Amino acid sequence: MTTMRDVARVAGVSAKTVSRVFNDDPHVTEETRERVRWAMQKLHYVPNLLARSFRAGADAAVGLAIPDIADPFFAAMTSSIEEDLVGRGMAVVVTSLSQGASERERPALEALLRRQISGLIVACVSADQSYLAPWQERTPMVFVDRPPNGLPGVYVIEDDVGGAREAVTHLASHGHRRVAFLGLSTPIATVRRRLKGYRSAVAESGLLDSADLVCMPAELPAEAAAGLVKRLEEPNAPTAVFSSNVLCTMALVPALQRAGRTDIAVVGFGDFPMAAALSPAVTVVDQDPAGLGRIAVERLLQRIENPGAPVRRKTVLPVRLIPRGSGELPPSRA
């Protein structure tokens, strides 16, 4: 079994420094932190987690609950989490919460928690997670992509507001004054944050602020995309669209092509396979799902190792705009 002293020897630091890195001590330099993390990965170091799991009567396994494994974002995040945890000698139990079926969340999560797993990583789909309070007292949890509602938590999210603002500002810089927002009518916090960023950019850029430009007609991406395409036939139709998630973008792009409306500018939040190969290639606000997964694992292991640590912690990851063509189209004259 690899020890903390082994990691310290490979990293060229003291065992105390290894402990400080694992506990995310802010006084450790980034160079030292990276060296220790590299040594941990190289040696597959798991600091007493397996022994602690056996003593606590819990499985050496982590539960992972995501909205939809078919979503490229969550698929990449899941792959990263599995690779990291399996490399540390822990198993991963994955369950899908079914995007749009918020009533499935509680029974699915409680089924995982009854397995006496060592920890839980979850991307919530319902509007209230207060039911997890008694479970959180005995099982370390980390929330990803959206914070919990109704209870404090350790969570890792992306800069949804800033990314949405940058996307809409980018469309405005190419002459668009009527920019639509495409999203799903769900209680998910990411939708609200990206809508907030959209509205902020609309106000800052002096764009048309109209309720009919916010298109959130359904919980299914295909239905939402079809509704927006119909809107393009009406007076004062939008000339550009900010699509607030990957599944909406993947539904919107073929819907626009079938309607012969490749003149509509599009920026999507989140990258997806083949986005760069389409015509026009899709401009996106790029996330880092693998990086989010790695940080979520790091936060969860910290919680397992230190169960008495505070349960309130927020980490916001940056996003970046990737111009590819669809977001740089000029306003249509149609």
pLDDT digits (tens, 9 = 90+) for 246-286: 999 999 999 999 999 999 999 999 999 899 999 999 999 99
pLDDT at residue 186, as a whole number: 76
Backbone angles phi, psi at 66, to 5 degrees: -130, 160
The C-alpha atoms of residue 45 and residue 10 are separated, in whole angstroms, by 12
Instruction: Indicate the pLDDT class of residue 41, thresholds 50, 70 and 90.
Output: confident
- Domain co-membership, 103 together with 16: no
| pLDDT value, residue 100 | 56
Please report whether residue 218 resides in a domain: yes
Quick one: average pLDDT of 21-44? Answer: 83
pLDDT digits 0-9 by tens, 190-241: 999 999 999 999 999 999 999 999 998 777 899 999 999 999 998 889 999 9
Segments in the chain forming alpha helices (H): 4-11, 15-22, 30-43, 49-56, 72-87, 105-113, 133-136, 160-173, 189-205, 221-231, 246-258, 289-305
> Quick check: 266 and 251 in contact, CB under 8 A?
no
pLDDT for res 1: 56
- For residues 28-35, give the mean pLDDT: 89
Residues whose CB is less than 8 angstroms from the CB of residue 48 and which lie 6 or more positions away in sequence, other chains included? 305
Domain that holds residue 15: 1-45
241 and 208 in a single domain? The answer is yes
Question: Does 288 score more than 60 pLDDT?
Answer: yes
pLDDT digits (tens, 9 = 90+) for 64-116: 999 988 889 999 999 999 999 988 888 899 998 875 567 889 999 998 888 87
Within 8 A by CB and 6+ apart from 279, the residues are 262
**Residue ending a domain, choose from 45, 63, 81:** 45
**Is pLDDT at 57 greater than 60 in this prediction?**
no
Q: Do 114 and 61 sit in the same domain of this protein? A: yes
Whether residue 26 has pLDDT greater than 90? no
Same domain for 37 and 77, yes or no, is no
Whether 190 and 228 share a structural domain:
yes
On whether residue 108 sits in a domain, the answer given is: yes
Domain shared by 117 and 178, yes or no: no
Do 84 and 33 share a structural domain?
no
Same domain, 179 and 282: yes
Q: Strands 214-215, 179-182: parallel, antiparallel or unpaired by DSSP?
A: parallel
Same domain (yes/no): 282, 295: no
| CATH number for 310 | 3.40.50.2300
The pLDDT value recorded for residue 48 is: 53
Regarding whether 254 and 218 lie in a shared domain, the answer is yes
Question: CA-based Rg of the chain, rounded to a whole angstrom?
Answer: 22
Domain count across the chain: 3
Query: Is residue 334 domain-resident?
Result: no
Percent of the chain residues topping a pLDDT of 90: 61
Residue 309 lies in a domain: yes
pTM of the complete model = 0.78
Bridge partners, 283 (sequence order): 267
Query: Is residue 92 domain-shared with residue 200, that is, in the same domain?
Result: no
Phi and psi of 94, rounded to 5°? -105, 135
CATH number for the domain that contains residue 26: 1.10.260.40
| Band of pLDDT at residue 314, cut at 50, 70 and 90 | very high
Decide if 85 is inside a domain.
yes
Q: Is residue 333 part of a domain?
A: no
Residue 312 pLDDT level (bands cut at 50, 70, 90): confident
pLDDT at 42 > cutoff 90: no
Query: Which of 26-35, 247-256, 300-309 tops mean pLDDT?
Result: 247-256
Give the whole-angstrom CA distance, residue 95 versus residue 135.
17
What confidence score (pLDDT) does residue 238 get? Answer: 97
Range of lowest pLDDT (19-23, 26-30, 324-328): 19-23
Chain position carrying tokens 């000339």: 239
Q: Are residues 139 and 168 in the same domain?
A: no
Residue 25 has pLDDT above 80, yes or no: no
Question: Residue 193: what pLDDT?
Answer: 95
**Residue 280 lies inside a defined structural domain of this protein:** yes
Q: What are phi and psi of 268, to 5 degrees?
A: -110, 145
Which is more confidently placed, 307 or 52? 307
> Per-residue DSSP letters for 98-161?
-TT-GGGHHHHHHHHHTTT-SEEEE---SS--GGGHHHHTTS-EEEESS--SSS--EEEEE-HH
Residue 40 CA, distance from chain mean position: 25
Establish if 73 belongs to a structural domain: yes
- What's the pLDDT band for 56 if we cut at 50, 70, 90? very low
CA torsion 151-156-158-161 (nearest 10°) is 30
Residue of higher predicted confidence among 54 and 59 = 59
Residues 6+ away with beta carbon under 8 Å from 296: 77, 81, 121, 142, 144, 156
